[in-house]
Structure 1
Amino acid sequence: MKTWFITGTSTGLGRTLTEKLLQQGHRVVGTVRKTDALDDLKAQYADQLWVATLDVTDTAAIKKVVDQAFADLGEIDFIVNNAGYALFCAAEEASDEQIRQQVDTNIIGSIQVIRAALPHLRKQGSGRILQLSSAGGQTTYPNFSYYHTTKWAVEGFCDTLAKEVAPLNIGVTIVEPGAHHTSFATGMAPAPVLDAYENTPAGDVRRAVAAGTFPIKNNVDITVQAIIDSVNISPAPLRLALGGDAYRDMRAALVSRLDALDAQRDLALASEKD
């Protein structure tokens, strides 16, 4: 039996991950924003499930909850930063408040959970951090500019973090799922639409999502089990691409960027001094 600390367990991948872990005999610390969100699981798995109410935009509350979880449960093996959502709009359409909320939740919240956990992981001399990112942490889609901002940022943070904590026997894995019905369809927050974007790629994506024709083919159970299985891989994989769309879209984006970089090789090297 291992102990997992997971943020955002009310719905989506976080909920499915919590259910699977409990079914497999593991112990879970699940954080939720609504106090009764896990009551059904608590009734069934009372001894395995420790529930805390947490808004990850509240840094002081994060530290309090993480400290209390380690104090009550002792060693925690895996920290899963899952809480987050996608702001679904063109860049011009979002309000200042919406932008701030997206950044505070997906970037600052994730960073502060990790910062709160690190002293405990260092003290116990082991642990693994799993950061939920997205295929959108390596590629981009119209109507998701602020979501991409947060995922690209947190990937940069975790890529650096992995180098810092590897000597401390702490692993870091950035999980990059493609579109899933739980996370994609229910995790988006819209903004008022501007007519100027109706006949643009942003409008095309909006219509596809509204009509239910945006392709979502990935299996939630398979993806969640892959996340669970990844903790048995040593050393920790830095990135975990999950879903056919994730693989295809990220590969195309990476190849395109590499081609563009190679095309600028002579220009880049021209400024290098001997």
Structure 2
Amino acid sequence: MTQRTWLITGVSSGFGRHMTEQLLARGDRVIGTVRKAGALQDLAEAHGDRLALHLLDVSDAAAVQQFVEAAFASHPRIDVIVSNAGYGLFGAAESFTDEQIRHQIDTNLVGSIQLVRSAISHLRAQGGGRVLQLSTYGGQAASPGGSLCHAGKWGIEGFIDAVGQEVAGFRIEATLVEPGGARTEFRYGSSRLGPWIEAYAGTPVAGIHKIIEEAKLLPIGDPARMVALMIASVDQHPAPKRLALGSDAYTAMHKALTTRLAELEAQRELAFSTDFPAGA
């Protein structure tokens, strides 16, 4: 088994923690970011210098760039960049405050963009590498109550799609990971709600509020199994452009993509009708 060095944002919980545990167990090195000092102290004590932890708020673009520069300067090679840090913001679009909107986009979209773009020159210089960008099935299928989450994830999917094509000639490959619901702290720990507006009583938005406030509905996905497949994907060549994880993710994305394709095909004649005539 090839031993690698991984740079992972958001390792204190959820997929980040599961990934860190699995990688350290197999002998790899992890450079991980946390929001609070002392996080993952148990793993740091158990694995010594194979786990390097750094405080980082990914919504701080300058700090992200400085962190990436320092990480590559202090390690001879970083094989895999995992853009994982993020959180959910749910509710009616009109309910969110300007501050909530900015922080969500700065964290889930701009932070991921800055991480990846800061790493590209280093990956190029070392002759290649792999990027894993955590998205969600919500990067392909939209649901009421998730507008801000979808804004970030649809945005980062377009970014990674394009960047993957830009850097393919440098042996840098990128994969978008699209999990469904998983039994991590994401849904009932890090997720946040916009202010409640009574007009939305009885609508799907009310359902989202109820699910998060009651914290009773268990997601179907096993995060340990999902993370094992994320790690295994790094050995695939060419890299999968997308990795759907979970039956709920597959079902939701299949329905959304099938519907969108049918709608597009129905507009074929209309679309072609706007071209200049041949030879014009």
TM range (shorter): over 0.9
Aligned residue among 160, 166, 179 for 2:162: 160
TM-score, normalised to structure 1, is 0.97
Where do residues 106-121 of structure 1 align in structure 2 (5 Å cutoff)?
Answer: 106-121=108-123
Distance in 1 (alpha carbons) for counterparts of 2:56 and 2:238: 31
2: CA distance between counterparts of 1:75 and 1:245? Answer: 37
Could you tell which deviates more after superposition, 227-236 or 31-40?
Answer: 31-40
Q: Cα offset for 1:214?
A: 4.2
Q: Is the 8 A contact 2:183 2:218 kept in 1?
A: no
8 A contact 1:171–1:236 mirrored in 2: yes
Residue of structure 1 equivalent to 2:22: 20
Structure 2: segments with no counterpart, 5+ residues: none
Q: Percent identity?
A: 47
Correspondence for 1:221: 224
Partner in structure 1 of residue 275 of structure 2: 272
CA distance in 2, matches of 1:56, 1:259: 38
Say which of 219, 232, 236 aligns to 1:233.
236
Q: Which residue identity is paired with 2:211? A: A
1:215–1:258 Cα change, 3 Å: farther
Q: How does 1:195-274 map to 2 (within 5 A)?
A: 195-212=198-215, 214=217, 216-273=219-276, 274=278
TM-score, with structure 2 as normaliser: 0.95
Q: Paired residue for 1:29, among 23, 28, 31?
A: 31
Residues 35 and 57 of structure 2 are in contact (CA less than 8 Å); yes or no, is this contact kept in structure 1? yes
Deviations 1:112-137 (A, max 9, x none): 00111111101001100110000000
Deviation at 1:140, TM superposition (A): 1.1
Give 1:195 deviation, angstroms.
Answer: 0.6
Report the Cα distance in structure 1 between the residues aligned to 2:259 and 2:66, rounded to whole angstroms: 44
* Equivalence for 1:39: 41
Contact 1:128/1:171 (8 A) holds in 2: yes
Answering whether residue 178 of structure 2 is matched by residue 176 of structure 1, we say yes
- Counterpart of 2:49 in 1: which secondary structure? coil
Q: Is the 8 A contact 2:188 2:215 kept in 1?
A: no
The number of equivalent residue pairs is: 274
Q: Which amino acid aligns with 1:151?
A: K
Query: More displaced, 103-112 or 199-208?
Result: 199-208
Maintained 8 Å contact 1:75/1:124:
yes
Contact in 2 for aligned 1:205/1:214 (Cα 8 Å): no
1:213 positional shift:
5.6
Q: Superposition RMSD on alpha carbons, in Å?
A: 1.2
* Structure 1: 4+ residue segments shifted above 3 A: 208-215
